[in-house]
Structure 1
Amino acid sequence: MKRTSILLGSIFIGLLMLSARNRTHPYKMDVIPEKVAALYAANFHGFQDEVDTLATLANSASSLSEWETLKRQVEKTRLVYKKIEFIFDYYQTFYNGTYINGAPLPKVSEHFEAGAVIEPCGLQALDEAVYEEASQENLKHIRELANGLKERVDFIAKIHFPVNFKSSQIIECIRSGIVRTFTLGITGFDTPGSVNALEESAVSWQSMENTFSFFEIGILPEAKGEFEAIKKLFTKGKERLNADISFNDFDRLTFLKEVVNPLYAALLEFQNVNNIRLEPYKKHAQNYQAKNIFDINFLDTDFYSELVYLPLDNPKTIALGELLFKDPRLSNNNVMSCVSCHNPKKAFTDGLPKSVSNQKGVFTDRNAPTLLGAGYSTRYFWDMRAFDLERQVVHVIDNDLEFNTSFDAIVDKLKKDTNYIRLFKEAYGGIYKEDINQRSISNAIAAYVNSLKSLNSPFDKYVRNETEEYPENAKRGFNLFMGKAACGSCHFAPVFNGTVPPFYMESESEVLGITQGFDTIAPQLDTDLGRMDNGFSLDNHPYFKNSFKTVTVRNISETAPYMHNGSFVTLEEVLAFYNLGGGAGMGLEIKNQTLPDAPLELSNQEIKDIIAFMETLSDVTDYGDRGD
């Protein structure tokens, strides 16, 4: 009896100890957000102090002799900002992109200023300004930028705090910060004047490491291995970013394969093993369940189709959409189908400078871009006149040179086909009084187009470690694409289109000064007004004149000719055009060109290497045999 009592007592004490341990872990986890919040607040107010100092210096500067002092203060202010950006951008994405560290271009924001033009402002504009020629005019410009930044930072400081962190959101901030470092940091996107990309990335990297270190106080025993692995990867990344190496010579491909992708995956594994459930703060396209920036599911196209008639991932609607995509009955007089301009055998293009119309000998106004990866966007068509894939269909139906018909006419045709009646009922039955209607037709075609994904190229397989084979010239080309050539600062990884990381919530257009044919002797600017003339008052501004959507370079070797007007026949011509600095670099007067007009000074070999890389982005094997 005594032995039994001792045994029961021992078990009871053991259970109490186990219970105490289990209670301790949640408590420690609750402390982590508090510690992160305290560090973040201190760093934010440190940034605010540096902005105050910058504004004071700018306001007191009266001569050009103080230019270098201003430049150093801009650099210091930016470095301090890099300590907070991975968190600030997560919680204040649009404010950050509009006022604090967005591209130094005029903006029309749907979120601020009621659609008015917002002149270039913030840290990138300052980075650019202090590296321009020292003059009284530029000094005045820097003063205006510094005071504007102070006003915006002081305002957001009043409403931004306190920030209520959750442990899962802290990890999401860090993972998104890693994406930002790779796509916007080391590419030079964030530093258009100084090209101080590696130093700034190193500061951001260190801040993310410091933030993650707080998780050690709430770590479960089974997560210690993952924690230590993450510490090593942070150290490895820090060593590479702090190495004595130039911007052009930094090995971005090795950094991606050996640091960025492994760290992105390890953070997810740590989160899972440490029982930190997924609780995203906001809706965006980045899928935090992905383990690799180049995973097929890294971006979720559902984000771009939130308001559609029916979710675009329904196998029945996708199959129906493919039938409609190939059916000429959708056009007037049954003369055209979607395949007419987007042939699966040609990577969903037509191989023509400008697409054929429904009239013999007449062509449409623009080149037909590939539909592979079209779903990774917030705006559609070269002039960005459609806001989702469903509405893109409407424009084709109505266009006089394309289908030139109405949905009523299409519905009447489809209702005479028993197979279509059955398929529409299976896919859309019960949603509306008529199964075959404008929304269901548009939705089915949109579902098919959305399914056209091309993320299994030789490059993807290499960076996902699914193969060890990859050409040496393509490796050099990738590093050039993401570095010296600045291609990756407009064609953002992983889709390599204009949808902006790290949250991929907005798609961009650019003014490149595209010419009528590639003529370096007597170039003539293409007359297409582009985005400025798309019918939206929000886009009807001079700086959108000749502005066109930044489309993907995936499968680019399959989709010649190039540009909105199909004026460039080869990739060599495309690269030569960029190498010259676009239309402005070729001597044309283009006030609003977003592409820098300075020559890239790429050698012939470097151009060949970039093309070699882009050729490894081809992945059309699943679609080439599906055309009519």
Structure 2
Amino acid sequence: MKTYLNFITFKAKTCILSVCFLLFYTSCLDKEYKKIDYQESLNQLEKLYKHNLTKAYIFLDSISLKNNHDLNKSYYINSREYFKRSEPILSFLEKENFKSLNAPNIIKVHEEDPTDIKINQPIGYQVIEENLFSESMDTMALKRAINITSARLKLIKNNSKTILKEYHLLWLIRDALIRITTTGLSNFDSPVLGQSLTESGYALNTLKDILAIYESKFSNKSLYNKWQDELDSSIISLKTDFDTFDRYEYIKTHAHKQLELWNETVKNWQVEFPFEIALSNDFNSLFSENMFNKLHFSDYKSDTTKLEQKIILGKKLFKDVNLSKERNMSCATCHIKEKGFTDGKTTFDNRQKRNTPTLSYAAYQQLYFMDARSGSLEGQIVGVVNNHDEFNMSMDSIIKRVRKNTKYSFLLDSLYNNERDDFNLRHAIASYVRTLNPFNSKFDNNINGKENTLTKKEKRGFNLFMGKAACATCHFPPLFNGTIPPNFNDTELEIIGVPKTKENKNLDDDYGRYHLFNVEERKGSFKTPTVRNIAITNPYMHNGVYNTLEEVMDFYNEGGGAGLGFDLPHQTLPFDNLNLSESEIESIIAFMKTLTDNY
């Protein structure tokens, strides 16, 4: 009996060992299979990417002044198609190169170091497009742009090594979807031909190809099929006339559906993101505070402990007049909540040269003050403190006053685990300002399906804003300011030629950014502000010259300063004039009024 039991025990152990070995062996095979599958997917992805880049520069190299002009145009259009097909991968792997290749035909000024200011002539497709399709072609500029653009594409292709983890791939897909919905639905990068809708279809086709490469990753095959159906449907909807395209319905029907599918894919692939960049890793709407990682825009990115208490402290400091030399001015003196955090004045009590900008949605910028002289909210506060016409103090003096207040002193010590009072005080105020973006305007609530109250006129106004009127080529949704999606790492400055008075006879003598470094190409450049809450933040422009939205729209409809007859060789508006009808202007204004939030 004992021998029999030993035999049974031996058999059981043998079975267990066999099962363990089998599981181990199978596990090894699975790991090996996944390794091969992962590498094979990357190889296919790189093949797709390089194919599109190659076709782009082959067609570009085919352009020659010896050719028939129509033939050159067709070569350009074909090259542009493959460039846009490469865009989802190119823009993710080569952000700076992509920006250069797809940049507006505007001189680029680099002023990070005042002792080494660089003025770079533009290259890329927009330079080629504007010369090839204009009546007065600059052959030298055209040749240069073609040669440099082609050489850059070849360099990227020959040095490309597509190494992407799964979370990178998901970010890449999301970035492409957001780029299409924001800049792609306007003519941001096709101002002459107006081909942005068609070209957005090319980018969506590449997303279809990418998902097909990674089809085996989907444990839920119906999710993969939903992606393909949705992308097919989106591509078809984009095949329409630019001016009559219903962008509002596209966002509601397609853009938000794509984000839902993206979130489902994250769960289905069981991907964990190691961190967040400008965008949060879980949002379903482009018009939502949940879309953004606000810490990305902060100087104090790691400070998340006791943040709610820090915001309360910041709000108290924001309203405290004791921070100014004469104890008669606080941040809230010029930034009044009921006026969209402006003051409703042309300039503040004749002590300021410029109109008070709104703090609404100021959290989502990379540049501050109208001349963009500060790179963060925390840094911007120093400018206010030191300004003789504002607080007229030093940070050291403010800290001494704050420390004399026992409640403030206790809060600083209990909320911050360091002795950097200067920075902690600024961080608290900035943390409060970063809460002034509720995304609960009439427009937000409607496009997010929370209510159904937008009128046909207001929807038409949004479509015009995004389309024919070209407003969204500078005021990018969803923030409607100059911070460029989908990476939100740059905030644009524009030269539009604002007049000195509303009679529109003389150019204003405040040259904005020019006054910092005296760079001629920056003369008259100012940061693009948000259009959110614009109905309650008048007067408008950097000098408060216009008091009504009708006056502002008339200015743009005329073509800005150049349209008024001012000498503006570097004006950045992407049009001569808009040719908008009175009815169209009324619709755009009606839409802008729906951006007033309920803070």
TM-score > 0.5 by shorter chain: yes
Q: Who is 1:175 aligned against?
A: 174
Q: Who is 2:134 aligned against?
A: 132
Equivalent AA in structure 2 for residue 185 of structure 1 = G
Most deviating of 149-158 and 453-462: 149-158
Does the C-alpha gap of structure 1 residues 326 and 156 become closer, same or farther in structure 2, counting only changes over 3 Å? same
Question: Residues of 1 paired with 2:406 and 2:112: CA distance?
Answer: 47
TM-score w.r.t. length of structure 1: 0.87
Q: Who is 1:625 aligned against?
A: none
Which residues of structure 2 form unaligned runs of 5+?
A: 6-10
Q: Who is 1:500 aligned against?
A: 484
Q: Who is 1:409 aligned against?
A: 397
Q: What's the CA shift for 1:611? A: 1.2
**Identity over aligned pairs, percent:** 32
Q: Who is 1:523 aligned against?
A: 505
Equivalent AA in structure 1 for residue 60 of structure 2 = L
Equivalent AA in structure 1 for residue 101 of structure 2 = I
Equivalent AA in structure 2 for residue 181 of structure 1 = I
Q: Deviations over 1:472-515 (max 9, x none)?
A: 21111111111111111111111111001111111111011111
SS in structure 1 at match of 2:579: coil
Question: Residues of 1 paired with 2:157 and 2:360: CA distance?
Answer: 42
Q: What's the CA shift for 1:377? A: 0.6
Q: Is the 8 A contact 1:492 1:499 kept in 2?
A: yes
Equivalent AA in structure 1 for residue 533 of structure 2 = N
Most deviating of 225-234 and 563-572: 225-234
Q: Who is 1:286 aligned against?
A: 279
Equivalent AA in structure 2 for residue 126 of structure 1 = I
1:459 aligns with one of 419, 443, 462 = 443
Residue 41 (structure 2) pairs with residue 35 (structure 1): yes
Q: Is the 8 A contact 2:108 2:122 kept in 1?
A: yes
Q: What's the CA shift for 1:409? A: 2.2
Q: Who is 2:588 aligned against?
A: 610
Q: Is the 8 A contact 1:128 1:191 kept in 2?
A: no
Q: Who is 1:359 aligned against?
A: none
Q: Who is 1:366 aligned against?
A: 354
Q: Who is 1:108 aligned against?
A: 109
Question: Residues of 1 paired with 2:510 and 2:223: CA distance?
Answer: 54
Q: Deviations over 1:134-157 (max 9, x none)?
A: 44xx22221111011122223333
Q: What's the CA shift for 1:80? A: 0.5
Q: Who is 1:235 aligned against?
A: 232
Question: Residues of 2 paired with 1:386 and 1:585: CA distance?
Answer: 31
Q: Who is 1:145 aligned against?
A: 145
1:266 aligns with one of 247, 250, 261 = 261
Residue 399 (structure 2) pairs with residue 397 (structure 1): no
Q: Is the 8 A contact 2:59 2:76 kept in 1?
A: no
Q: Is the 8 A contact 1:36 1:211 kept in 2?
A: no
Residue 460 (structure 2) pairs with residue 476 (structure 1): yes
Equivalent AA in structure 2 for residue 577 of structure 1 = F
SS in structure 1 at match of 2:494: strand
Q: What's the CA shift for 1:9? A: 8.8
Does the C-alpha gap of structure 1 residues 231 and 13 become closer, same or farther in structure 2, counting only changes over 3 Å? farther
Question: Residues of 2 paired with 1:104 and 1:614: CA distance?
Answer: 28
Q: Who is 2:8 aligned against?
A: none
Q: Who is 1:187 aligned against?
A: 186
Q: What's the CA shift for 1:228? A: 2.2
Q: What is the count of residue pairs matched by the alignment?
A: 591
Q: What's the CA shift for 1:17? A: 9.2
Residue 277 (structure 2) pairs with residue 275 (structure 1): no
Question: Residues of 1 paired with 2:590 and 2:28: CA distance?
Answer: 55
Q: Is the 8 A contact 1:29 1:218 kept in 2?
A: no
Q: What's the CA shift for 1:279? A: 5.0
Most deviating of 301-310 and 269-278: 301-310
Equivalent AA in structure 2 for residue 393 of structure 1 = I
Does the C-alpha gap of structure 1 residues 274 and 407 become closer, same or farther in structure 2, counting only changes over 3 Å? closer
Question: Residues of 1 paired with 2:31 and 2:182: CA distance?
Answer: 36
2:247 aligns with one of 232, 249, 252 = 252
SS in structure 2 at match of 1:618: coil
1:431 aligns with one of 418, 427, 438 = 418
Q: Is the 8 A contact 1:47 1:77 kept in 2?
A: no
Which residues of structure 1 form unaligned runs of 5+?
A: 357-361, 623-628
Q: Is the 8 A contact 2:56 2:81 kept in 1?
A: no
Does the C-alpha gap of structure 1 residues 263 and 597 become closer, same or farther in structure 2, counting only changes over 3 Å? closer
Q: Who is 2:430 aligned against?
A: 446
Question: Residues of 2 paired with 1:419 and 1:175: CA distance?
Answer: 45
SS in structure 1 at match of 2:365: coil
SS in structure 2 at match of 1:499: coil
Does the C-alpha gap of structure 1 residues 328 and 308 become closer, same or farther in structure 2, counting only changes over 3 Å? farther
Q: What's the CA shift for 1:542? A: 1.7
Question: Residues of 2 paired with 1:49 and 1:273: CA distance?
Answer: 34
Q: What's the CA shift for 1:412? A: 2.5
Q: What's the CA shift for 1:310? A: 4.2
Q: What's the CA shift for 1:601? A: 1.2
SS in structure 2 at match of 1:501: coil
Q: Is the 8 A contact 2:42 2:163 kept in 1?
A: no
Q: Is the 8 A contact 2:294 2:434 kept in 1?
A: yes
Q: Is the 8 A contact 1:325 1:338 kept in 2?
A: yes
Q: What's the CA shift for 1:526? A: 0.9
TM-score w.r.t. length of structure 2: 0.91
SS in structure 1 at match of 2:258: helix
Does the C-alpha gap of structure 1 residues 210 and 353 become closer, same or farther in structure 2, counting only changes over 3 Å? same
Question: Residues of 1 paired with 2:288 and 2:587: CA distance?
Answer: 24
Does the C-alpha gap of structure 1 residues 134 and 35 become closer, same or farther in structure 2, counting only changes over 3 Å? farther
Q: Who is 2:79 aligned against?
A: 77
Equivalent AA in structure 2 for residue 177 of structure 1 = A
Equivalent AA in structure 1 for residue 338 of structure 2 = K
Question: Residues of 2 paired with 1:613 and 1:562: CA distance?
Answer: 17
